Structure 1
Amino acid sequence: MDDEAEAIPVDFNEHTATQAVQDGFGKTPDPRLHEILTALTRHLHDFVRETRPSIQEWEQAIQFLTAVGQTCTDTRQEFVLLSDVLGVSMLVETLNEREGGTESTVLGPFHMVDSPPRALGDSIDLVGEAEPCVVSGRVLDTDGAPLPDAKVDVWQCNEQGFYDVQQPGVQPSGNGRGLFHTDTEGRFRFRTVVPSHYPIPTDGPVGRLLEATGRHPYRPAHIHFIVQADGHTPLTTHVFVAGSPYLDSDAVFAVKQSLVVDFTESDDEEEAARHAVQAPFRHAEFDLVLNREPTR
């Protein structure tokens, strides 16, 4: 008889369960996958032993996760939203962050469509909202050298707190979005509006979770950035509007003090003309710093 035929089964109980499942993953050929599954089993089983859920509670948990998956669409990622409100997204960002560059934050659930390519100085406000805003700055390396031709992907909500994908037929596709390339001095600039604070979507299972736990769903006003340059680690971050409500209680825990920027009001008509806007307007200026890719 072979070894499998002679093996004596081990009773699956509270004390043997974790080892039995970890042994089941023992032949996983990918070492990293094996490490992750072994740790996941250990922590998940410890959680179950600690909380001792009833069968009904376990079924409710499965139904909740099923509903999260069923809520995902081409323009909405409810699992990302769940990761965000549990602080997992920001924890992953924090653990992977390297010193020297601009601090990173979560991607968020609304980077679901390609940002349209735009020329420097173009407006990403396609509907002509009330108060114009100019955003400008530089993309630099950690030595302060400019990074020309860096990609600067931006997206934001409108003055009412909605992204284009949330209002099809109301906002034109691509409103609040743009893909720019820095000039020879590493500079970027675009016209827009000051975004509003807003609630994350609450009409799905993640919203019901927040309601059940007494948490508010609001995010402070911000603009998203993904910045990429050859030889450098891509950066995913936000710039937050100074003075916005909820800076101290962001629903997805993404605020970092270094990313809070003044959007100052200017009445300078000559400066407004240089930026092709009408005075008064708001202006935010800041640098985005990329770390070099680690050497292998």
Structure 2
Amino acid sequence: MDFTVETATDAVVDSFRETKDQRLQQVMESLTRHLHDFVRDIEPTLEEWEEAIDFLTAVGQKCDDTRQEFVLLSDVLGVSMLVETMNGSEEGTESTVLGPFHMTESPSRKLGDSIDLLDAGRTCVVSGRVLAADGTPIAEAELDVWQCNEDGFYDVQQPDVQPPGNGRGLFRTDDEGRFWFRTVVPSHYPIPTDGPVGRLLEATGRHPYRPAHIHSIAHAEGHRPVTTHVFVADSPYLDSDAVFAVKSGLITEFTESDDGQDAQRFGVSAPFAHARFDIVLQSEDPQ
């Protein structure tokens, strides 16, 4: 069969007919059909297609141990959030994107420790519980948190300024499912714009900013893990997050507290910001 515009899709789909993994075959056939339809729709010139290949090559070349440009591309196209939303829990806390900066292992910390190693910025206490869908507290749940500093930078972005592990912590809940730690109120910030994804945003007239937030991943035996955010309620860009991750149920008040007893209990000085939220995990699907 001659390879023509009309026969191209069937020819490529047919080439996957011996694929042993049925899921892989399904994925490749669907990808081929949608990609070919896309090409027929926009009718790229040879020069435009070469430019597209160069763009994807540049995205890959920008990736390293502390930077994941392909994750960033998936984020700004809304694909990361679409996949998260499709796979999210109906009963538990809403899931959001992982983001490009979960690239290093968070150091283990004790409940009440500070993840702010620079002692700078607006002091904040974060507290809450990890719960099962029926409201039962989950003891020994693992909570991995990471955030930018008060200037909007993650530790991996400022290795000469921030010590490794700043803004990161791995905690385990107590017998009542509770967690608490000290930090600083994070800032809104731009996603990295010094690579091909940044050039794409500029070319399309989109801003690169994300509202202030704290990332977390919660794990517990017998439950589905959840990757999520806590968004600072009064932050700019809540209505135009560059990676489409804001969900109304994840917006949290970082309330100013003058309570001296609470300050003493948490090991901070008043006044301080206090963010309270619970994370609800859905049970694993029965096997």
Same fold (TM over 0.5): yes
Distance in 2, matches of 1:233 and 1:142, equals 11
Equivalent position to 1:150, from 141, 145, 155: 141
Cα offset, 1:267, TM superposition: 1.0
Amino acid in the other structure paired with 2:46: I
Q: Deviations over 1:263-296 (max 9, x none)?
A: 0001111211110001110000110000000002
Amino acid in the other structure paired with 1:66: T
User: Could you say which residue in structure 1 is the equivalent of 2:269?
Assistant: 278
Amino acid in the other structure paired with 2:203: A
User: Could you say which residue in structure 1 is the equivalent of 2:41?
Assistant: 50
Equivalent position to 1:243, from 234, 238, 244: 234
Equivalent position to 1:163, from 142, 146, 154: 154
User: Could you say which residue in structure 2 is the equivalent of 1:118?
Assistant: 109
Equivalent position to 1:72, from 52, 58, 63: 63
| 1:212 equivalenced with 2:186 (yes/no) | no
Amino acid in the other structure paired with 1:120: L
Equivalent position to 1:128, from 109, 119, 122: 119
Amino acid in the other structure paired with 2:99: G
The DSSP-based 3-state class of the residue aligned with 1:133 is: strand
Once the two structures are superposed, the pairs formed by residues 1-296 of structure 1 within 5 Å of their partners are 10-296=1-287
Distance in 2, matches of 1:271 and 1:103, equals 29
Distance in 2, matches of 1:95 and 1:138, equals 25
Amino acid in the other structure paired with 1:147: I
Larger Rg: 1
Cα offset, 1:217, TM superposition: 0.0
Q: Deviations over 1:192-227 (max 9, x none)?
A: 000000000000000000000000000000000000
Cα offset, 1:135, TM superposition: 0.0
Cα RMSD after superposing both structures: 0.4
Distance in 2, matches of 1:86 and 1:63, equals 18
Amino acid in the other structure paired with 2:241: D
Cα offset, 1:169, TM superposition: 1.3
For structure 1, list consecutive stretches of 5 or more residues without a partner in the other structure: 1-9
For structure 2, list consecutive stretches of 5 or more residues without a partner in the other structure: none
Amino acid in the other structure paired with 2:171: F
Cα offset, 1:131, TM superposition: 1.8
Please list every run of at least 4 consecutive aligned residues from structure 1 whose deviation after the TM superposition is greater than 3 angstroms: none
**Identity among equivalent pairs (%):** 71
Cα offset, 1:98, TM superposition: 2.3
The DSSP-based 3-state class of the residue aligned with 1:39 is: helix
The DSSP-based 3-state class of the residue aligned with 1:22 is: helix
CA contact (8 A) 2:229 2:250 kept: yes
Q: Deviations over 1:138-187 (max 9, x none)?
A: 00000000000000000000000000000001000000000000000000
Distance in 1, matches of 2:115 and 2:121, equals 14
- TM-score calculated relative to the size of structure 2: 1.00
Distance in 2, matches of 1:101 and 1:270, equals 32
Distance in 2, matches of 1:245 and 1:236, equals 22
